[in-house]
Structure 1
Amino acid sequence: MPALPTPSDQLLQLLPEAVVQTDAAWTITYLNPAWKTLTGHPVDEALGRSLLDFVHPDDTAALRAGMPVFRLRRADADYRWMRLQLSPTTDAEERVISRQGVLIELTEIGEQVLMDDRQRFLRLLERIDGVVWEAELGVGNTFLSPQVERLFGYAVEEWRADPGFWRAHVHPDDLPDALVIDEAAYHATHSYAYEMSYRLIAKSGQVVWVRDLCRVDVEPGRPNRMIGLMIDVTRQKHTELELLQSHNRYALATRGSNDGIWDWNLQTDVLHVSERFNEIVGLGDCGNLHDGGWHFLQQLIDPDDQERVQLAYRRHLSGDRPNFSVDFRARHGSGRLVWLNWRGVAQFENGVAVRMAGSLSDLAERGSSYDALTNLPGRPLFRDRLEHAIALHHDGASKRGDTPTQGDPTMFAVLVLDLDGFKAVNDTLGHHAGDQLLQQVARRLESCVRAIDLVARMSGDEFNVLLESVDHAGATDRAHQIAAALATPYQIGTHTVSCPASIGVVSSQAGFATTDDYLRAADAAMYRAKSQRLGVCVYSESGGAIESGTVPSST
């Protein structure tokens, strides 16, 4: 005996509205008799077929995406506007197993209004380069725009059939952070907008970078609803990663060169410097941006070198030089003087320099072994030799108990020389004459010292001499001999020029511990010789006093 229909079945049979039920794949699993009344299609013929078979081809994507208004084909082949709001039924794992709803034919007036709204909605979706979505807790996506198939390869119904579909396809490395944001939205107590960036695994297996612009709507009495727009930003993300990699490579190369980097906007006078730049000048905590570029640099450059530095970059800006490179003395943050090399190149627009960029180097840490102009050793070799001399002297002193002995071979002296008339020669006769003068000075210095001594050009018109196996008195005598030799006039082409030197001397009797200590002492003595026109000043280890001497008259 067949089972009697339940009261609910009887009610469905009597309803004037068509009740429709499908499975997760849109196959019709139940229709009440009102279906034939509304559509003209027999119920038995429609059961087992896809509901999409009865939908206008232009509307199937919208229906699959969750749009409830569409055109349905009647048995007489005429299309009528219908409304079917399908509600999903899920299993224990919250996967969609069926959909059910009531099919209603729209009136002519309502049809036109809804049709206009629907067309505007579809045109809007077509113009958005992204996936518009809506989701609810326990249901998953209640709406997805058709672009999901173009961007990610998944059909709308394939995505919507599984409430956990999105979570299952977020890249594993990004899922933990995405879930924190997602869970917060599902359990929020107030509406707000938020944004997520993550990678999504497309159907092809390709990884797609997604920027998800979202909003959670919180309404009393109903689950939280999220609305969003997923945008494919893979190309943008790859560009960002390439830029980051390029920046990292550049930063690594910069650290490897040990140079400071600077970028100067000449139109706004804003100077940007790297952290290494600040380290070199001893200003590690003064920031990386300086509104007055030249004012900042002017504070660093020794006053005696400012004019020379300005001349170097002005020549470049005027087009005389393709780039610029200039050595100068700078006041380190610790108070000591350091020799730096500043170099770079300008960017021109319509013949006007608008920007300059380049690097800054500490010449104590960088430089060639020999000076190309004078063919003398440079700063690095001089410092190495001096460090070696200091180590030998300290070692000898420890062996003899710091008791000085006559003719101690480890005794040495450092001479710092600065030409007094060099700038005048450059200004009056030109830099070519200045270069010739430096070459002649180099040869005279070499002729005044022994083979075991070292003469070096440090920078500009500054020379250093390391005298080895010499006591305090011998170093002083040698300094006066050098001063006399350099005071003799020079022949530069058809011109006879005078360019004496100011010399500072410090001997190993001072007992300093480091290279910088000796160079600072000799430099201080040289500056006193220059400022007081003494010719030679010798640093005295007793109380730090300065002994002065005069240059013997030249012949």
Structure 2
Amino acid sequence: MPPDSTLSGQLLQLLPEAVVQTDAQWTLTFLNPAWHKLTGHPLDGSLGRSLLDFVHPDDRGTVRSGMPVFRLRFADSDYRWVRLQLQAESDTAGRVLGRQGVLLEITEVTEQVLVEVRQRFLRLLETIDGVVWEAEFGVGNTFLSPQVERLFGYTVEEWRSDPGFWRSRVHPDDFEQARAIDDAAYRATHSYAYEMSYRLIAKDGATVWVRDLCRAIVEPGRPNRMIGLMIDVSRQKNTELELTQSDNRYALATRGSNDGIWDWDLRTDVLHASPRFHEIVGLGDIGNLHARGWTFLEQIIDVEDRKRVQAAYRRHLSGHCPNFSVDFRARHGSGRLIWVNWRGVARFEGGAAVRMAGSLSDLAERASSYDSLTNLPGRPLFRVRLEHAIALHQDGLRDGQAPDEATMFAVLMLDLDRFKAVNDSLGHHAGDQLLQQVARRLESSVRAADLVARTGGDEFNVLLEAVDLASATARARQIAAVLAAPYRIGPHTVASGASIGVVMSQPGLATTDDYLRAADAAMYQAKSRSLGVSVYPG
């Protein structure tokens, strides 16, 4: 509202500096004669127009944000740097009624300095992906950067026109906590930094998660004010909530199956693992989120199995198989190695895998996959591992390349000699001890990357990977020699060798059953002819 005709109003008319007053929408409501003298614009032609009409287009956003230095168009059509610090006038409810201030043209030297400072400030604001703000007790926001419109949809004018605007847009579920933190800052007796996380209702009604980095500034003789940076963290929050909901959704199934649940965002490489997952590998309570998924998994997987595990899930991601399941040795938190099964499936968008989810099982707790007597993998685990080796070998053949030793493998089938005689003469307990000693000798006779399994009774299977025929045959003969050495069972000395059938990876065999039948045929030939070791085809 324009000044009245009292002495104060008459003095404003006589001031040599240009006095400018606008309403809440930036319309010019009062100008003293110094306006015409400074800018050349007539009073009658200026009053009733928006102050922003005279501001350089590039500076209008910063004027609305509260920046006092900007370029103003003079009557000669030139833009010149001016300073106009506008003070807001509010009603008893705190609503802005108008603004007024003194307009000054900046001298040439001061102009250069201020322009440089201003440009640096604007460049800094442009690099910040958030809203820079300042607020003062009883006034509301005295400054807002233009990003407020991009992030929340509100213009700077809308936000600053109401001192209670921010509080009215905080989500109801977060309001009490946010108000308590805000009130504490206004009542503070010393400056300090603080942080808030809350939801804000955007202009289109959407809910935006905000992380607000703030500082309360307490200075003698003036009301408390706060400065801060509001950052949109909706994506991070939604991811956290989705993972939490996912964990809750699978919690009952997890307890029922006793498996560990995992969820891997391949775009961010964030892996979420349930508490049971950590319990299986002995890691305790280390938090559910792991920022670098594969790095976390690598630390768990035994070094000898890492390439094989990585190859398994990469085959799935490349579309070679609809899901993946791989058994490997995991390094338990106590330092020992345990056998686990890691399985899951990926979700694809636009042909690219964006997410994977599945479970982790402790095979020692799954009797069908793990042999409790010998502490060796059982038949199901061996078949899965063999299936994976067959797939890798066949992939190489489909590419038209010569067989690569890295994808070649051999299957060994072993049957103990004279095992029934030990059981019949010394009892089943002695037979069990013999099987346990055979298992330990087998493990010590192969490489860490190879797999030894007990597949039933006195029958064992061995999978040798990355070997040629000569190496596989030599390893089979070495195993035969090791198993032929006498065994000490209590007061008794027992002799029990083994007949071993060997089958190499080859195009004529396509399935796990093909290989197991071939190995069984070779083993039968070794036993019937007392050969010790026989290679398929005989």
TM-score (norm 1): 0.53
Give the direction of change, closer, same or farther, for the CA distance of 1:254–1:108 in structure 2 (3 Å limit). same
Partner of 2:51: 51
Q: What per-residue deviation string (whole Å, max 9, x for no partner) do you get for residues 501-535 of structure 1?
A: xxxxxxxxxxxxxxxxxxxxxxxxxxxxxxxxxxx
Partner of 1:6: 6
Amino acid in structure 2 at the alignment position of 1:245:
Q
Partner of 1:189: 189
Amino acid in structure 2 at the alignment position of 1:101:
G
Question: What SS does the corresponding residue of 1:421 show, helix, strand or coil?
Answer: helix
Partner of 1:359: 361
The CA distance in 2 between the partners of 1:76 and 1:68, in whole Å, is 22
Partner of 1:170: 170
Amino acid in structure 2 at the alignment position of 1:227:
I
Question: What SS does the corresponding residue of 1:173 show, helix, strand or coil?
Answer: helix
Partner of 1:98: 98
Amino acid in structure 1 at the alignment position of 2:434:
G
Are 1:69 and 2:69 matched, yes or no? yes
Q: What per-residue deviation string (whole Å, max 9, x for no partner) do you get for residues 112-158 of structure 1?
A: 21111111111111221111111101111101111111111111111
Give the direction of change, closer, same or farther, for the CA distance of 1:100–1:421 in structure 2 (3 Å limit). same
The CA distance in 1 between the partners of 2:197 and 2:4, in whole Å, is 56
The CA distance in 2 between the partners of 1:179 and 1:17, in whole Å, is 42
Amino acid in structure 2 at the alignment position of 1:360:
D
Q: How does 1:250-399 map to 2 (within 5 A)?
A: 250-259=250-259, 274=275, 287-288=284-285, 324=327, 343-344=340-341, 358-360=360-362
Gaps of 5+ in 2: 263-272, 287-301, 313-324, 330-337, 344-358, 372-426, 444-451, 461-493, 500-523, 529-538
The CA distance in 2 between the partners of 1:234 and 1:81, in whole Å, is 40
Give the direction of change, closer, same or farther, for the CA distance of 1:261–1:232 in structure 2 (3 Å limit). closer
Deviation at 1:106, TM superposition (A): 1.2
Amino acid in structure 2 at the alignment position of 1:64:
R
The CA distance in 2 between the partners of 1:107 and 1:315, in whole Å, is 75
Partner of 2:198: 198
Partner of 1:435: 456
Give the direction of change, closer, same or farther, for the CA distance of 1:48–1:257 in structure 2 (3 Å limit). same
Deviation at 1:318, TM superposition (A): 10
The CA distance in 2 between the partners of 1:217 and 1:131, in whole Å, is 18
Partner of 2:152: 152
Question: What SS does the corresponding residue of 1:64 show, helix, strand or coil?
Answer: helix
Amino acid in structure 1 at the alignment position of 2:253:
A
Deviation at 1:249, TM superposition (A): 4.0
Deviation at 1:44, TM superposition (A): 2.1
Give the direction of change, closer, same or farther, for the CA distance of 1:426–1:60 in structure 2 (3 Å limit). closer
Deviation at 1:423, TM superposition (A): 3.4
Are 1:121 and 2:121 matched, yes or no? yes
Question: What SS does the corresponding residue of 2:98 show, helix, strand or coil?
Answer: strand
The CA distance in 2 between the partners of 1:149 and 1:134, in whole Å, is 16
The CA distance in 2 between the partners of 1:344 and 1:4, in whole Å, is 85
Deviation at 1:245, TM superposition (A): 2.9
The CA distance in 1 between the partners of 2:74 and 2:455, in whole Å, is 102
Question: What SS does the corresponding residue of 1:133 show, helix, strand or coil?
Answer: strand
Partner of 2:112: 112
Amino acid in structure 2 at the alignment position of 1:343:
V
Give the direction of change, closer, same or farther, for the CA distance of 1:108–1:172 in structure 2 (3 Å limit). same
The CA distance in 2 between the partners of 1:56 and 1:429, in whole Å, is 85
Give the direction of change, closer, same or farther, for the CA distance of 1:180–1:277 in structure 2 (3 Å limit). closer
The CA distance in 2 between the partners of 1:122 and 1:432, in whole Å, is 69
The CA distance in 2 between the partners of 1:233 and 1:64, in whole Å, is 26
Partner of 1:21: 21
Structure number with larger C-alpha Rg? 1
Amino acid in structure 1 at the alignment position of 2:436:
K
Deviation at 1:421, TM superposition (A): 2.9
Q: Does the 8 Å CA contact 1:218/1:225 hold for their aligned counterparts?
A: yes
Amino acid in structure 2 at the alignment position of 1:6:
T
Give the direction of change, closer, same or farther, for the CA distance of 1:318–1:48 in structure 2 (3 Å limit). closer
Give the direction of change, closer, same or farther, for the CA distance of 1:256–1:72 in structure 2 (3 Å limit). same
TM-score (norm 2): 0.55
Partner of 1:423: 436
Partner of 2:207: 207
The CA distance in 1 between the partners of 2:367 and 2:132, in whole Å, is 61
The CA distance in 2 between the partners of 1:135 and 1:173, in whole Å, is 23
Question: What SS does the corresponding residue of 1:81 show, helix, strand or coil?
Answer: strand
Q: What per-residue deviation string (whole Å, max 9, x for no partner) do you get for residues 443-497 of structure 1?
A: xxxxxxxxxxxxxxxxxxxxxxxxxxxxxxxxxxxxxxxxxxxx9x9999749xx
Amino acid in structure 1 at the alignment position of 2:435:
F
Deviation at 1:57, TM superposition (A): 1.4
The CA distance in 2 between the partners of 1:273 and 1:150, in whole Å, is 37
Partner of 2:140: 140
Give the direction of change, closer, same or farther, for the CA distance of 1:57–1:421 in structure 2 (3 Å limit). closer
User: How many corresponding residue pairs?
Assistant: 345
Deviation at 1:164, TM superposition (A): 0.8
Partner of 1:390: none
Give the direction of change, closer, same or farther, for the CA distance of 1:424–1:86 in structure 2 (3 Å limit). closer
Amino acid in structure 2 at the alignment position of 1:159:
W
Partner of 2:161: 161
Deviation at 1:75, TM superposition (A): 1.8
Amino acid in structure 2 at the alignment position of 1:359:
S
Amino acid in structure 2 at the alignment position of 1:435:
G
Give the direction of change, closer, same or farther, for the CA distance of 1:183–1:54 in structure 2 (3 Å limit). same
Amino acid in structure 1 at the alignment position of 2:198:
Y
The CA RMSD measured in Å over matched residues stands at: 4.4
Question: What SS does the corresponding residue of 2:110 show, helix, strand or coil?
Answer: helix
Partner of 1:336: none
The CA distance in 2 between the partners of 1:362 and 1:426, in whole Å, is 16
Give the direction of change, closer, same or farther, for the CA distance of 1:254–1:107 in structure 2 (3 Å limit). same
Question: What SS does the corresponding residue of 1:26 show, helix, strand or coil?
Answer: coil
Amino acid in structure 1 at the alignment position of 2:179:
L
Q: Does the 8 Å CA contact 2:278/2:284 hold for their aligned counterparts?
A: no
Q: Does the 8 Å CA contact 1:259/1:361 hold for their aligned counterparts?
A: no
The CA distance in 2 between the partners of 1:4 and 1:424, in whole Å, is 108
Percent identity over the alignment? 62
Question: What SS does the corresponding residue of 1:239 show, helix, strand or coil?
Answer: helix
The CA distance in 2 between the partners of 1:435 and 1:250, in whole Å, is 35
